[in-house]
Amino acid sequence: MIKFYHKLLIILTTITVVSFLILGFIVHNSIYTISVEHQKKELQKHAQQIISLHHNHNDRRIQSLAETYESNILILDKGKTYRVNTNQDFNIEKRKAELLRQLKSENPVYILDGKAGEYLFGIEKGNVTLLMSGEYDTVYALQMQFWKYLILMGIVFIALIFFTVRYINRTYIQPINEVSYAASLLTQGNYRVRVPESSVKETRELYVTINVLARRLERLNSEQKIQRNRLVTTLENIPSAVLMIDKHGNIVVANKTFYDIFNENTNVEQQNYEKLLHPTLKKLVVEGFRTEKPVYDQVELHLNQIHQKFFDTSCVPILTRTKKRLQGMVIVLHDITQLKKLENLRRDFVANVSHELKTPITSIKGFTETLLDGAKNDEASLDMFLNIMLKESNRIQSLVDDLLDLSKIEQNTELDKHSIRLSKVAHHALEMIQPLAQDKNIELIDEINDNVTAMADESKMSQVIVNLLSNAVNYSPPDKTITIRVYNKERCKVIEVIDQGIGIAKEETYRIFERFYRVDKARSRDSGGTGLGLSITKHIVEGYQGTIEVESELGKGSIFRVQLPE
């Protein structure tokens, strides 16, 4: 691409050359015309003088004039021809017929042969015809001299143009180009660009202005980046999902929490909210746009067929400072699912504790009143009632002990941990459950590998295994088998309790570790269970950074699997 400097130089040079050529041709022709007219007049005067001398028969004077004019002369008078020749060799005889022919149409006749440098002149006066020829290179010499001066002037003028354009380029064009380039870099976001200070007064202010602008833009950009980074950091670390929607309904901002909660793998920005949001949320957004006032509500969203979440939702319209024009809306979704679950658990816990305590207390109170009414005098009834009251008291004590254990486990996130022989703990737990299994004729199968160790506490792990085995015995019909396995696995220790009991329905498996939850409530109460065993087991296992899971099929049995890290 040709620069402006070169364009200007080419244009001015072209204009100069064309102007000088036009001027040259005009002057060239003017020199020819003026010179020819001048010589024509001079030759006419000379011809009249020679004709006058011819009439006076002054041949010597004619000869002298011919030599002075360096011309050959041919005089035709009444059929006679008079020649006056000089030492010059001109072809007047060859052009004689041509001159005489032209004299018939014009008088006098002048012919100039520029290439040969020869002129021919003819005039007719009365009966006398005078023809003259001679050398005449003055016109050509003047023209050549003119072209030399013109070319020299053109070269000088072009040189002046070159230096003038160069000066203009350095003084004005180059600074403007530098400022233009700097401005283009500024538009591209390069705010560190600077232009050197100019010594030219006319462009110094332009340089100073562009540098001041660049510094201000750099400062503003830095401040904007800091503010944007703060905003992005804040949005990305807010535990709530945040969406910003413009006035056209397109999403312009979505933070990381939104993608995590709704499992969005594609970028949602610049997409319309109606295609992405849940219908319940869309209603709140529409309400916010309609009223231009904040909308607050708690919503329940089913993210898929299994999971549902609860959100404390805020839809806040963004208005201009004058509060006359709606610019968009900010949607904040605060996940309160855990709070809802805790609230439900607390409510269920209070209800269950109340129920579990109320039942034995009511039973003890009833038997006490019966004894006070006179049944104490019957020894058989007295023994039976006292045994029942003792059993119910033991139930209350077990419930309180389990609640205290669960509370201690929840409060102490760091459990005692040291190397234990897990195989030995499992054998001891199996011995403890053996009498309970014999009462139902249940066979306990020992598949415990020797020398299995773990980083845990013996009493806590014994409680875990006993709880799992006692549950298996309680929920298994008579004459079944229960298998316990303890073995090493890659990077973990595994405990498995496999029964052939009543099993657990698939929709209930995720609830069996909740407090007071029972698969078969009647069977659990008959066995003296409190409904807290599996909940305590889960808390102990998780306290050792382990996992507990269950595989079950209704009517066929269950497998409880505990995995402890090495």
Kindly list the domain boundaries of the chain, sorted by start residue.
Answer: 4-142, 192-237, 238-335, 341-411, 418-565
At 53-86, the pLDDT tens digits run: 777 777 788 777 777 777 777 777 776 776 766 6
CATH of domain 4-142: 3.30.450
User: What's residue 357's pLDDT?
Assistant: 64
Q: Strand 418-421 to strand 80-84: parallel, antiparallel, or no bridges (unpaired)?
A: unpaired
User: What's residue 522's pLDDT?
Assistant: 46
Q: Is it the case that residue 558 has pLDDT exceeding 80?
A: yes
Mean pLDDT along residues 101-118: 73
Query: What are the residues facing 317 on neighbouring strands?
Result: 329
Q: Is it the case that residue 174 has pLDDT exceeding 50?
A: yes
Tokens coding 32: 């020819």
Mean pLDDT along residues 361-369: 75
CB 375 within 8 A of CB 382: yes
Cα–Cα distances in angstroms (integers) from residue 290 to residues 248, 272, 284, 321, in the given order? 13, 17, 10, 19
Whole-number Å distance between alpha carbons of 123 and 129: 6
Residue 349 CB partners (closer than 8 Å, separation 6+): 515, 516
Q: Is it the case that residue 284 has pLDDT exceeding 60?
A: yes
CB 470 within 8 A of CB 433: yes
Tokens coding 48: 């009249």
Strands (E) in 50-98, as ranges, are 71-77, 80-84
Q: Is it the case that residue 344 has pLDDT exceeding 80?
A: no
Q: Lowest-pLDDT range, 16-30, 82-96, 104-118?
A: 82-96
Fold match, 238-335 / 418-565? no
Element (H, E) at 180: helix 174-187
pLDDT band for position 116 (cuts 50, 70, 90) = low
CB 193 within 8 A of CB 214: yes
User: What's residue 486's pLDDT?
Assistant: 93
Q: Is it the case that residue 96 has pLDDT exceeding 60?
A: yes
Q: What percent of the chain has pLDDT over 70?
A: 84
CB 193 within 8 A of CB 185: yes
Instruction: Write b or e for each residue in 154-167: b if 16 or more Cβ atoms lie within 10 A of its Cβ, otherwise e.
Output: beebbeebeeebee
Q: What percent of the chain has pLDDT over 90?
A: 9
Q: What is the 3-state secondary structure (H, E, C) of 53-112?
A: HHHCCCHHHHHHHHHHHCEEEEEEECCEEEEECCCCCCCCCCCHHHHHHHHCCCCCEEEE
At what angle are helices 379-411 and 533-543 packed, to 10 degrees?
30
Mean pLDDT along residues 300-304: 75
Whole-number Å distance between alpha carbons of 554 and 240: 40
Q: Is it the case that residue 495 has pLDDT exceeding 90?
A: yes
User: What's residue 148's pLDDT?
Assistant: 92
User: What's residue 561's pLDDT?
Assistant: 92
Q: Lowest-pLDDT range, 127-131, 325-329, 451-455?
A: 127-131
Whole-number Å distance between alpha carbons of 389 and 392: 5
Residue 295 CB partners (closer than 8 Å, separation 6+): 284, 287, 288, 313, 314, 315
Helical ranges in 373-457 per DSSP H: 379-411, 422-439
Tell which residue, 344, 338, 343, 388, has the closest CA to residue 368. Answer: 388
Element (H, E) at 563: strand 557-565
Query: What are the residues facing 300 on neighbouring strands?
Result: 310
Q: Is it the case that residue 155 has pLDDT exceeding 80?
A: yes
Tokens coding 502: 């009543």
CATH of domain 418-565: 3.30.565.10
At 435-488, the pLDDT tens digits run: 888 888 999 999 999 888 998 888 888 888 988 998 889 888 998 999 999 999
Mean pLDDT along residues 235-239: 82
Which superfamily, per CATH, for 238-335? Answer: PAS domain (3.30.450.20)
3-state secondary structure (DSSP) of residue 195: coil
At 388-443, the pLDDT tens digits run: 778 777 767 766 766 666 666 666 556 778 889 999 999 998 888 888 888 889 99
Q: Is it the case that residue 261 has pLDDT exceeding 70?
A: yes
User: What's residue 56's pLDDT?
Assistant: 77
User: What's residue 499's pLDDT?
Assistant: 92
pTM score: 0.45
CATH fold of 341-411? Helix Hairpins (1.10.287)
Looking at every residue in the chain, the average pLDDT score rounds to: 80
